[in-house]
């Protein structure tokens, strides 16, 4: 899995041992805070949408990009 670089104040943490469920957390948490946060996230990981298909209650028209054009306009590729 390829992850994007993060700003210095953030870091990746994983909810599983295989490192397949990444989450982004603050970099300045104490170890105890990080452990508690990850514990809560692990308990509720089914509520996290890992991809758009995991969020079936959201209408695709909300997250899909659409360009509205007049009907008689010819499209071109630039």
Q: What pLDDT, in 10s, does the model give residues 17-32?
A: 888 889 999 999 999 9
CA dist 24 and 10 (Å) reads 7
pTM (global) more than 0.75: no
DSSP one-letter string for the chain: -------TTEEEEESSTTS-SEEEEETT--HHHHHHHHHHHHHTGGGS-SSGGG-TTS-HHHHS------TTPPP---
DSSP lists the bridge partners of residue 11 as 25
Residues (pLDDT < 70) of the chain are 50-56
């Amino acid at each position: 899995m390829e992850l994007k670089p993060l700003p210095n104040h953030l870091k990746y943490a994983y909810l599983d041992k295989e490192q397949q469920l990444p989450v982004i957390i603050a970099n300045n948490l104490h170890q105890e805070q990080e452990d508690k946060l990850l514990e809560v996230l692990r308990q509720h990981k089914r509520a996290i949408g890992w991809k758009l298909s995991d969020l079936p209650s959201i209408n695709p028209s909300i997250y899909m990009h659409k360009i509205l054009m007049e009907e008689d306009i010819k499209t071109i590729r630039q």
